[in-house]
């Protein structure tokens, strides 16, 4: 009888201990918690809107705020004015992202103070993000009192752009005025990531191109000195091909035409014979 009582007590004690995750059975360490799986963040995204503790966050169409997630965990983007970089934190971290360096260009002269205000708030919101949800072409980032809604940017049509020489056909400025180039102007994006552009009778630009947040950007460019015959008319045109390419632009293919568009409404239309 006593033996039976001892057996019952031992069984009961073991059951209680099992409920606590012991009694010789392997289990999770105390304090461990399941970490929700993250969605695939890879791709280029653009701010569509959001909220944060100090109010709503609205996009500025001519000054997009973007973030690009790479497969190696690095991120980069443009915060309405300046470029920034960073990385995705491990799943156990309190926040999703760690932001690194950011440029210190002042864009107030190119618009108004609301551009720099959007940049400050966008960067603050990214730093506060704790988790992400993805629904197809929409990415939502959540933090304390913060929700950022981003839309996917289509990839640049790189395969259709590279290894062809494109001739400038028309220029559209911010006012919507379309004009013809005043000199023969060509550009070529090669598969090895190099690029060159020539404005006849004026100068030549060389550089390196890269895909950037759904578009293309040329960096590390160098210009040859202006030739003596570089016309005043070409100077007044503002060298659109060799200067505008230093900004992020979207590229679209329309038959034998390449349309380069910029957030503020400027457009370059080029044509190829190859």
Give the model confidence (pLDDT) of 23-40 as tens digits. Answer: 444 444 444 456 668 899
Task: Count CB atoms within 10 A of the CB of residue 145.
Answer: 11
Regarding whether 263 and 166 lie in a shared domain, the answer is yes
Regarding whether 203 and 126 lie in a shared domain, the answer is no
Regarding whether 65 and 133 lie in a shared domain, the answer is yes
For position 99, what pLDDT does the model report? Answer: 95
For position 260, what pLDDT does the model report? Answer: 94
Regarding whether 136 and 162 lie in a shared domain, the answer is no
| Residues 260/270, Cβ–Cβ less than 8 Å | yes
Among 105, 127, 152, the domain-final residue is: 152
Q: What angle do CA 209, 210, 216 make, to 5 degrees?
A: 90
Regarding whether 200 and 115 lie in a shared domain, the answer is no
Range of the domain at 258: 158-272
The dihedral of CA 155, 159, 164, 170: what is its sign? negative
Would residue 77 count as lying in a domain? yes
Among 152, 183, 205, the domain-final residue is: 152
End-to-end CA distance of the chain: 98
Regarding whether 204 and 105 lie in a shared domain, the answer is no
Would residue 130 count as lying in a domain? yes
Regarding whether 206 and 241 lie in a shared domain, the answer is yes
Task: Count CB atoms within 10 A of the CB of residue 131.
Answer: 14
The CATH number that applies at residue 195 is 2.40.128.270
Would residue 227 count as lying in a domain? yes
Categorize the per-residue pLDDT at 156 as very low, low, confident or very high, splitting at 50, 70 and 90. confident
- For residue 88, list its beta bridge partners: 97
Categorize the per-residue pLDDT at 6 as very low, low, confident or very high, splitting at 50, 70 and 90. very low
Categorize the per-residue pLDDT at 107 as very low, low, confident or very high, splitting at 50, 70 and 90. confident
Structure tokens at 95: 């926040």
Would residue 129 count as lying in a domain? yes
Would residue 7 count as lying in a domain? no
Would residue 162 count as lying in a domain? yes
Task: Count CB atoms within 10 A of the CB of residue 126.
Answer: 25
Regarding whether 148 and 117 lie in a shared domain, the answer is yes
Task: Count CB atoms within 10 A of the CB of residue 43.
Answer: 19
Number of domains in the chain: 2
Q: 2-9, long-range: CB within 8 Å, 24+ apart, which pairs?
A: none
Regarding whether 215 and 146 lie in a shared domain, the answer is no
Rounded to the nearest integer, the mean pLDDT of the chain is 83
Regarding whether 91 and 190 lie in a shared domain, the answer is no
For position 274, what pLDDT does the model report? Answer: 64
| Residues 238/230, Cβ–Cβ less than 8 Å | no
Would residue 265 count as lying in a domain? yes
Give pTM, 2 decimals.
0.69
For position 230, what pLDDT does the model report? Answer: 74
Give the model confidence (pLDDT) of 183-224 as tens digits. Answer: 788 999 999 999 998 876 677 888 999 888 778 988 877 777
Give the model confidence (pLDDT) of 214-250 as tens digits. Answer: 789 888 777 776 666 677 777 666 677 777 888 889 9
**208 SS3 class:** strand
Would residue 194 count as lying in a domain? yes
Regarding whether 215 and 249 lie in a shared domain, the answer is yes
Among 103, 122, 152, the domain-final residue is: 152
CA-nearest of 251, 60, 84, 71 to 153 is: 251
Regarding whether 135 and 181 lie in a shared domain, the answer is no
How many whole angstroms separate alpha carbon 256 and alpha carbon 268? 14
């Amino acid at each position: 009888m006593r033996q039976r009582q001892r057996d019952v007590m031992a069984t009961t004690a073991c059951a209680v201990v099992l409920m606590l995750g012991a009694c010789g059975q392997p289990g999770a360490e105390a304090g461990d918690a399941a970490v929700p799986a993250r969605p695939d963040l890879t791709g280029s995204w653009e701010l569509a809107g959001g909220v944060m503790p100090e109010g709503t966050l609205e996009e500025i169409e001519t000054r997009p705020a973007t973030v690009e997630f790479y497969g190696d965990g690095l991120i980069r983007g443009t915060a309405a004015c300046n470029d920034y970089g960073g990385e995705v934190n491990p799943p156990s971290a309190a926040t999703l992202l760690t932001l690194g360096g950011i440029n210190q260009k002042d864009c107030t002269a190119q618009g108004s103070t609301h551009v720099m205000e959007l940049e400050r708030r966008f960067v603050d919101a990214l730093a506060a993000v704790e988790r992400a949800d993805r629904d197809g072409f929409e990415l939502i980032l959540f933090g304390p009192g913060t929700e950022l809604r981003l839309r996917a940017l289509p990839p640049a049509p790189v395969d259709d752009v590279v290894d062809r020489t494109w001739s400038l056909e028309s220029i559209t400025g911010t006012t919507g005025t379309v004009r013809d180039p005043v000199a023969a102007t060509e550009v070529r994006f090669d598969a090895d990531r190099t690029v060159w552009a020539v404005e006849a009778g004026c100068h030549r630009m060389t550089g390196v191109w890269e895909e950037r947040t759904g578009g293309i950007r040329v960096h590390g460019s160098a210009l040859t000195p202006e030739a003596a015959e570089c016309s005043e008319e070409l100077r007044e045109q503002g060298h659109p091909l060799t200067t505008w390419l230093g900004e992020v632009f979207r590229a679209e293919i329309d038959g034998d035409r390449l349309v380069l568009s910029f957030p503020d409404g400027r457009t370059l239309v080029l044509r190829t014979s190859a």
